[in-house]
Amino acid sequence: MDLDDQANVSRLAEEKGTGEMIVILGQPDSNSAGLFAETVTRGDPTWAGPLAGVPLGLPVYHVLEPEIKEQMDPALYQEHVGLMELSADVDDIIKWVKFYREGGAA
């Protein structure tokens, strides 16, 4: 999550509040998905961006999670996410995003 993305999430959280927000990630690997999930829940762990030390506690999901997939048009999902689903380690990605979503121990 680059600094501009962090700034946008921070701005939206301030303007709208966190109660109406969820974050849906689309990173192709578990390391980046976990890092971004941690950033929007606990704050930027690299202490480099606008969310450094800002634990928003936002609910975060990955586009590969069944809860998200089942809400999408199957043809659009296949067109935009299908190749990633075939090539990514889906279980590992979901494991790390879920870890941060559920407030796993640091």
Asked if residue 106 is part of any domain, the answer here is no
Q: Is 91 exposed, middle or buried (0-12, 13-18, 19+ CB in 10 A)?
A: exposed
Q: How many domains does one find in the chain?
A: 1
Q: What is the pLDDT of residue 106?
A: 57
pLDDT tops 90 at residue 21: yes
pLDDT tops 70 at residue 48: yes
pTM of the model: 0.91
In 6-99, beta strands by DSSP E:
23-25, 60-62
Q: What is the pLDDT of residue 31?
A: 96
**Average pLDDT in the 4-32 region?**
95
Range of the domain at 29: 3-101
Inter-residue contact 28 to 20 (CB < 8 Å): no
The pair of structure tokens assigned to 8 is 């946008």
